[in-house]
Chains A and B, each alone.
Chain A
Amino acid sequence: MISVSGLTKTFGRTRALDGLDLAVQPGEVHGFLGPNGAGKSTTIRVLLGLLRADAGEVRLLGGDPWKDAVELHRRLAYVPGDVTLWPALSGGEVIDLLGRLRGGLNRTRKNDLIERFALDPRKKGRAYSKGNRQKVALVAALASDVELLLLDEPTSGLDPLMEAVFTECVAEARGQGRTILLSSHILAEVEKLCDRVSIVRDGRTVETGTLAELRHLTRTSISAELAAPPGDMDGVHNLRVDGTRVSFEVDGDRLDEALRHLLARGVLSLTSRPPTLEELFMRHYRSTPDHDGYGESREEPVR
């Protein structure tokens, strides 16, 4: 559906994309994550043929997004992160117009979506709140019969109730066999919806895979009360020792080794926190550009 490799894009002196890779398989919901300014919107704009790539290979629905823009756009729908509407057009008019320009709109689904999103389609563009403008664009995109949905932070501005409706709608869209690229900052949303995710930072993909694969990359937090002081421990992070009390984080593949080390000292009590994706994301969000990858991220020095 989408394959991007080595994509580079500069604006004047800012390097927005710096060799980004992205692969989205047919029928999947692909999460696109990264801190502010990481290059998510820029990537989507390149995929839409709105920006011209400086370097790299970009394929979309089997075509070139820059050269074949018009034909490809009949098969996809796009929701921008910041929706602006025409002040004098009503929301219903915009939904119909965008649908028709894409080559058709499913009327029943449109009415259904308007109802579920509790949208008043008669209001003029200038009278909508941010969340309601977002709903207009969402209804227009979700009601179109297209293969691919490009959604750039589609839930920004939606209240929790509407976020839940959105989650349902995306699940339905996947059920209908559509492919979805979903850029987001909301982890719960991504965990709930996405089959695979790509994490970008500073214009580069730093992680990509299924959620299960990514979980392997996360660390388990352990704290224990021991019979004797733990002594030296290798291969753990954020080690804190207070007499016989110890706490640390450990990567999935070193867990076994660390537990053996503790057992050798005699364990009086032990709590472990399971790995969360949030920690993984946080690590990537916080890291500095120079310390790439997981493992050697910027963390407070211990001891």
Chain B
Amino acid sequence: MNGTGALVRLVLRRDRLIIPLWVVVIAVLPITQTSAIAELYTGEQELRRFAESFGANPALQSLYGPITHWNAAAMGTWRAGFTPVILALASLLTVIRHTRVEEETGRRELLGSAVLGRHAGLTAALVVTAGANLAAGVILALSFVSQGHPVAGALALGSGYAALGLVFAAVAAVAAQLTEGAGGARGFALSALGLAFLLRMAGDSTGTAWLSWLSPIAWGQRMRPFAGEVWWPLVLSCAVTVLLTAVAYVLADRRDVAGGLLPPRLGPAGAAAGLTSAFALAWRLHRGTLAAWCVGVGLFGAVTGAATKAATDTMAGNSQLMAIMVALGGTTDMSDVFLAGLVGIFGIGVAGYAVQAALRVRAEEVAQRGEPLLATAVSRVGWAASHLVFALLGPAVTLVVLGVCVGVAYGATVGDLFGHVPRLVGATLAQLPAVWTLAALAIALFGLAPRLVGVSWAALAVFLLFGQVGAVLDLPQPLLDLSPFSHLPKLPGGEVSALPLVVLTAVAAALTAAGLYGFRRRDVG
């Protein structure tokens, strides 16, 4: 354990931007959902009707879990039912990042030769992640208390979130001991999270309680915040966390630094005939992520598409809500309004993918894997472009998959299987200019100010917040207009004007060109 304190400070320094960012974004989402619902559905009757009809919808249940009560706080936390999964995801990635990735890059060996206990790295990663989860829980609870919601419910909600984050931090700690590479460990921990989600989904949508109970994601919901709190699931989460952490430490004792418990797999002795260009290499590096995004977006698109009709049927009974939605969405067709909102949220998500894909080229450069390539007959622009193709076309593929899946699933519920597909593919593709603008911002930073590439993530987070809470917080319009997403048409259903799309695309093209120009002129490394 020697040196854990120093490592904790190191981890905090390296993550001083990203951890506060996800802690705050995750912690404020439930209260914004609650406030939005409280504003839209006034009075017991409307809330009750909303709860009953939504609660009866299997697709929504599978996505968010069961509705426990019809008060605004319970409904808001239900509506934010996917947020704890994001918290678990962030925790898991943080732990892997500060254990396995460190070992893979050899940094840990460097530090390990200084006076560090052999568990210091694992402990530091767990301490920081636990701290972040507790902070998220506290902010979450305080946000509800400050809005006048019951203290007990706020506490149950906050502790349920933090406990889930801790469980998956511990899962990641175990995964980090099993495989040799960071990729393998990440895949292992992500599969565990995916399995937990699927178990809860299957259990809740079919009403099979024991299936749900197998999933840590359900435990926080079963604490019934704002619906007659039940505290003992918290004991379950804590016990599992402690158990998994103990397992991780035992496993850590049995392996070498940078080694794994599972034997590494062997690859081919020579390259396939196709691996002849920088682009072929980029395809190898990007294809897994692209496939994962397509599958993920397709699944969630299908689930929400299938839930659209039921959701809009109930909204149609609420005249006040109708008025607001029409104002927001510019159309009177409720299902179009709902779908447009959905497409907008996915657009931000896909922009996250685009930024990540664009910054892969910078990650390669920092890892010194660009240098050997650029020392061959690969030009700088050729190398950068091999990655940027995925940042620009990858999102297009993902959005088409989204449009098709939402369209077919929605079509199935309204008895027109393929009729809505073209409309929805058009709607999802309309997100592309804004997605490109963000990817292009990352490219521009890569070329002109490579040390500041993290700014593109900050911009994405700010635009996400603008979209989620901008209207609620009454932020000034010129500020909101900074977000490229605010200029997109509300599709399907809304009016399309070509000008903003053309302007955004032109901005993206200019930023991309500037980035490539800068990269041609600057030092590599």
Chain B CB within 8 A of A69 CB: yes
Give the complex CA separation of A124 and B525 in angstroms.
24
Q: How far in angstroms is the closest Cβ of chain A from B403? A: 31
Q: How many residues of A contact B (CB 8 A)?
A: 44
- Measured between beta carbons, the chain A residues less than 8 angstroms from B276 are 97, 100-101
Question: Interface readout for A62-91 with B: 1 if CB under 8 Å, 0 if not?
Answer: 000000011101101110101111111110
Q: How far is the CA of A126 from the CA of B103 in the complex (A)?
A: 10
Are B377 and A73 in touch, CB under 8 angstroms?
A: yes
A89 CB, min distance to chain B CBs, angstroms: 7
Chain B residues positioned under 8 Å from A57 (CB to CB): none
Contact assessment for A89 and B525 in the assembled complex, using a CB-CB cutoff below 8 Å: no
In Å, the complex CA distance between A94 and B191 comes to: 29
Closest CB in chain A relative to B522 CB, distance in Å: 8
Q: A181 contacts the other chain (Cβ, under 8 Å)?
A: no
> Would you call B373 an interface residue if the criterion is a C-beta within 8 Å of the partner chain's C-beta atoms?
yes
Task: Provide the residues of chain A in CB contact with B277, threshold 8 Å.
Answer: 101
Q: Are B269 and A122 in contact (CB under 8 A)?
A: yes
B107 part of interface (Cβ distance < 8 Å): no
Name which of A32-40, A45-53, A212-220, A240-248 contacts chain B.
A45-53
Q: Is A97 a contact partner of B269 (Cβ separation < 8 A)?
A: no
**B49-67 interface code vs A (CB 8 A; 1 in, 0 out):** 0000000000000000000
| Cα A122 to Cα B267 with chains together (Å) | 5
Chain A residues lying within 8 Å of B104, measured Cβ to Cβ, are 87, 126
Q: B267, B369, B375, B379 — which one has the most chain A CB atoms within 10 A of its CB?
A: B375
Quick one: closest B residue to A137, CB to CB?
A: B372
A contact residues around B285 at 8 Å (CB) = 86, 88
A195 within 8 A of B: no
CA distance A200 to B103 in the complex (A): 34
Are the C-beta atoms of A50 and B374 separated by less than 8 Å?
Answer: yes
Within 8 A of B (CB), among A76-131: 76-78, 80, 82-90, 92-98, 100-103, 121-124, 126-127, 130
- Is B204 positioned at the interface, with any CB of A under 8 Å from its CB? no
On whether the beta carbons of A126 and B372 are closer than 8 Å, the reply is no
Known: A50-B371, A93-B271. A124 touches B377 (CB 8 A): no
* A residues 114-164 in Cβ contact with B at 8 Å: 121-124, 126-127, 130, 137, 150
A90 (CB) vs chain B CBs: closest residue = B267
Given contacts A48-B374, A50-B525, A101-B377, contact A123 B275 (CB under 8 A): no
Q: A69-B379, A90-B268, A100-B275 are in contact. Are A126 and B180 (CB under 8 A)?
A: yes
Secondary structure at chain B's binding surface: helix, strand, loop or mixed? loop
Would you give the 0/1 interface string for B421-441, flagging 1 where the beta carbon is closer than 8 Å to chain A?
Answer: 000000000000000000000
Once the chains bind, are B267 and A92 in contact (CB under 8 Å)? yes
- Interface of A, secondary structure class, is mixed
Task: Tell me if B415 counts as interface (CB < 8 A to partner A).
Answer: no
Which of B270, B284, B378, B521 contacts A70, CB < 8 Å?
A: B378
A124/B523 in contact, CB under 8 A: no
B477 at the interface (CB under 8 A from A): no
In the complex formed, the residue of A with least CB distance to B276 is: A100
- B372-A98 in contact (CB<8A): yes
CB distance A87 to B181 under 8 Å?
Answer: yes
- How far apart are the CA atoms of A1 and B255 in the complex, in Å? 49
- B265 interfacial by beta-carbon distance below 8 Å: yes
Whether a CB of chain A sits under 8 angstroms from the CB of B497 is no
Contact A84 B369 (CB under 8 A): yes
The residue of chain B having its C-beta at the shortest distance from the C-beta of A46 within the complex is B523
User: Which residues of chain A have C-beta atoms less than 8 A from B523's C-beta?
Assistant: 50-52
Given contacts A84-B369, A98-B372, A126-B181, whether A103 and B264 have CB atoms under 8 Å apart is no
Q: Does B183 contact A (CB under 8 A)?
A: yes
**Beta-carbon contact of A93 and B275 below 8 Å:** yes
User: With A50-B524, A50-B525 in contact, is A80–B266 under 8 Å at CB?
Assistant: no
In contact, B379 and A93 (Cβ under 8 angstroms): no
Scoring A45, A50, A77, A103 by chain B CB atoms within 10 A of each residue's CB, the highest score goes to: A50
Instruction: List chain A residues, Cβ under 8 A from B183.
Output: 87-88, 126
A96 x B379 contact (CB < 8 A): no
Inter-chain contacts of B367 with A (CB < 8 A): 84
Given contacts A50-B524, A100-B276, A101-B277, contact A89 B372 (CB under 8 A): no
**What is the CB-to-nearest-CB distance from B96 to chain A, in angstroms, rounded to a whole number?**
13
Give the residue name and chain of the A residue nearest to B179 (CB).
Answer: A126
Q: Cα distance A73–B272 when bound, in Å?
A: 23
Expressed in whole angstroms, the minimum distance between the Cβ of B331 and any Cβ of chain A is 46
| B525–A51 CB distance below 8 A | yes
Kindly list 11 other residue pairs between chains A and B, CB separation below 8 angstroms, not including A90-B269, A98-B372.
Answer: A50-B374, A51-B523, A70-B377, A73-B377, A78-B375, A84-B367, A88-B267, A88-B285, A92-B270, A93-B267, A95-B271
18 contacts between A and B (CB under 8 A): A48-B374, A49-B374, A50-B525, A51-B524, A77-B375, A80-B371, A90-B266, A93-B267, A93-B270, A93-B272, A97-B276, A97-B280, A98-B376, A121-B269, A122-B268, A124-B265, A124-B266, A126-B180
Q: Which 10 A-B pairs have the closest CB atoms?
A: A90-B267, A96-B271, A101-B376, A78-B375, A93-B271, A92-B269, A122-B266, A126-B181, A50-B524, A127-B264
A contacts, CB < 8 Å to B: 45, 48-52, 69-71, 73-74, 76-78, 80, 82-90, 92-98, 100-103, 121-124, 126-127, 130, 137, 150
